[in-house]
Structure 1
Amino acid sequence: MKVLVIILINNSLKKSKFFLFNKILISVLLGSLWLIKGWGIVFSPFIIIVLKHATKNQRVFLALIYFATGSYGLINAYQRFFHDNHYLLAVLCWLGCSIILAIPWFWYSNTKRLFIILLLEAIPPFGIIGWLSPIHALGFWYPGSGILGLILGIITFIFLDKYYWQGLIVCLTIGCSLNLFTQPPTSPINWQGINTEIKPNVTSLDATEYIIQSLSTLKPVNNTLVIYPETIINNWQLGTRILLEHSLQFDGNILLGVTLQHQDGYEDAIVIVNHGVAEPIPLFFSVLPTPLSMWNPFLTLSYHAHWWPITREIQGVRVNAIICYDQLLVWPWLTLLFTHPQVILTISNEWWSNNSSIPDIQLRCRQAWSRLLGRPIIEARNTLRNN
């Protein structure tokens, strides 16, 4: 399939003598694939070919088309986050982010600048909106290869930049072999993610009752760990912890996505209930809660960004957590190449992104990095299917 895409792009560009219309169509196609169950992730590196054979102004325009098309679901998502009467603000956020990601491609003219741009859009400050990156594709191209896969990805990007088809076919052959022979990672036996359907702004009391009810159907065994979605409890204060401790009849470990409030702002975090004891201090924090709607550097009280994922040991297993919006970005995942977790927890609350392409793109990003790292992912999602 990937070879077919290469041939189609190559023939289209040659026959058109690089006419802008053909490049626009290919940019729209590559962006639109992200909207089809997130599968644009696999083909995203081919945008490099399109942008390489264009003028400076064309590169910005084509990159804008790619990013704007692929992230179109942000309009619906931001509108829900900001409420329905803020449609214009949602459109401005979507368009503004697309323009910011497109502008660096003005300077793309050689391999060195290609890697500068890819790195620039993978790490902060540009990296805070660094979605739809070709780097995500490496997990589908080179599964189970870790840092070696990153090196193979660098070589692949060089071949795409140089238009060196023979080398690219060798890379694709290696990728196909890895896809055939790499075994999927396995999770700890008694670790389980729980998917929920809880509406936003539900009280902590109602959420606690929901958790207790869902746990009543589970029978804990040795080393049981149950994981719940992001911000399932929106007030991790003393009263909530006491209520949970007194009501729980579950002798395993529970990880809960919570909102933690203090005098300086809020935390999007994961806490543990350790054999009936609700710990007040979180184990994990969101690297970057959703910009503007959660993390807003222009407000005194907003969610805090933490910039680097924390590694913890739970039941003798090294664990990292990638929370909701972080899953769309590159740099939270890249850090895992150096922290070497054995298991990755991915929790999200999708009430704001339902009916958009974002949950599918998050899923493909999770799959891609799980494959590249060769590490199992345990996910817990809160969705509103009928909303």
Structure 2
Amino acid sequence: MRRELFRTGVLVALSACAGWIGWSGHVLLLPVAAAFPQLWSLARTRLQASAVSGAYFLAASRGLPQGVANFYGQDIWPGLLLWLVASTAFVAVHSVLWTDCNGWQKPLRYMAACVTMAIPPFGILGWAHPITAAGVLFPGWGWWGLGAMAAGLVVMATLYRPAATIVMIGLWLWSAAQWTPPILLASWAGVDLEMGASLGREASLQRQQDLIDFARAQPPGTTIVLPESALGFWTPTVGRFWQNGLTGTDITVIVGAARINGRGYDNVLVTISAEGNEVLYRERMPVPGSMWQPWRSWMGDGSGSEGGARAHFFANPVVDVGNTKVAPLICYEQLLIWPVLQSAFHRPDAIVAVGNGWWTAGTSIIDIQRASSAAWARLFDLPLVISFNS
């Protein structure tokens, strides 16, 4: 009994370390997360597998309680509750699919867990997925690299795990020695702002004018990307104000906003130039709970912004900006698997990642989003444009 308790403690501790280090916000540390399937497969009981899964996920998503407390201006307890609830899906999937059978049943079940956590409905909470490390171990390999990473994770759950570990460490060291960040897109500029919670909430025309003046100061022909929600609510008046403000320039601005409709609102990216303005992209997966609240419509409370943000699950995976095909990722989408893979399937020319992370102060959430976006950009060898507000 003591030996089993000790074994459980060691596996849980190592799993927590894998989650903590792998998801620390440094892109080159993402491969540490690949240790999770090995630790999961070493569990001897379903209860051990559940504990290992919970330790990994809770450590990887450790910034959530503080972030929720910052967002709602409350104490940390609501965040801790959400943290535990969010881990339930990950733990449940890996617990149910765990088996004590030898042979290939266990690795095949781990692959089933990987796929389940990558696509909806469970993929809606599919954070901290080890396959994200494919961009570090196999930069530029594209879909072949994704397949190689998936195969590596499967082998990590077999008796051949020592060989797989050695190979992955070798690839990791080679990649780290040769690593270069994602390339920049010519004539595009991602702008980071430090406006805190006021961005998107201060509705004055002066704030809009300040952003317009900043855009006008850029070189002619530049496409400028501003953070999520920077415009606040998107209305025809705001559109005309910006369009008039850009008159006489050859500047295009891509910026986040919220567009109200009869059943809630859409979290969108809009494109504005002197020639016109339009909604460019509607977020496929808003943050569950704080933004996406489907139960409101089920309960008959779906009027105005109180209906929450709508999820356009598989809509607009890529959008056209001039002659450039762009894969947009807004905030939460950068932590998931299916939005970026759906976009990659349509062969974009670049990835544009935006966020409004003022509420993440004191956490590594923005760094994790940046690292995840960089890994996917390197995997598919795509330019990356990033814009965050903090």
Asked if these proteins are the same fold (TM beyond 0.5), I'd say: yes
Does 2:194 align with 1:197? yes
Match of 2:260 in 1: 261
Match of 1:373 in 2: 380
TM-score under structure 2 normalisation?
Answer: 0.87
Match of 1:31 in 2: 19
Over the aligned positions, Cα root-mean-square deviation in angstroms equals 2.3
TM-aligned CA distance change 1:293 to 1:370, over 3 Å: same
**SS of the counterpart of 2:189?**
strand
Aligned to 2:117, which of 105, 121, 128?
Answer: 121
Structural mapping, 1:1-387, within 5 Å: 19-34=7-22, 36-38=24-26, 41-54=30-43, 55-84=45-74, 87-106=76-95, 107-109=97-99, 110-164=106-160, 165-170=162-167, 172-173=169-170, 186-198=183-195, 199-200=197-198, 201-203=201-203, 205-221=205-221, 224-249=222-247, 250-279=249-278, 282-299=279-296, 300=302, 301-308=307-314, 309-383=316-390
Match of 2:299 in 1: none
1:282-305 CA-to-partner distances (Å, cap 9, x unmatched) read 111211111110111112211011
8 A Cα contact 2:54 2:91, kept in partner: yes
Alpha-carbon separation, structure 1, partners of 2:163 and 2:74: 51
1:76-122 CA-to-partner distances (Å, cap 9, x unmatched) read 1112223315x332211111111221122222231111011111111
8 A Cα contact 2:136 2:175, kept in partner: no
Q: Which amino acid in the other structure matches residue 352 of structure 2?
A: L
Residue 233 of structure 1, CA deviation: 0.8
Q: Which amino acid in the other structure matches residue 317 of structure 1?
A: T
8 A Cα contact 2:38 2:157, kept in partner: yes
**SS of the counterpart of 1:341?**
coil
Alpha-carbon separation, structure 1, partners of 2:256 and 2:140: 29
8 A Cα contact 1:185 1:376, kept in partner: yes
1:146-186 CA-to-partner distances (Å, cap 9, x unmatched) read 11001111221122111313355345545655666686653
TM-score under structure 1 normalisation?
Answer: 0.87
TM-aligned CA distance change 1:139 to 1:196, over 3 Å: same
Q: Which amino acid in the other structure matches residue 310 of structure 1?
A: P
Residue 204 of structure 1, CA deviation: 5.1
Structure 1 unaligned spans of 5+: 1-14
**SS of the counterpart of 1:294?**
coil
Alpha-carbon separation, structure 2, partners of 1:376 and 1:188: 5
8 A Cα contact 1:41 1:136, kept in partner: yes
1:296-317 CA-to-partner distances (Å, cap 9, x unmatched) read 1112211011112431222212
**SS of the counterpart of 2:265?**
strand
Match of 1:4 in 2: none
TM-aligned CA distance change 1:56 to 1:16, over 3 Å: closer
Structure 2 unaligned spans of 5+: 100-105, 297-301
The alignment covers a number of residue pairs equal to 364
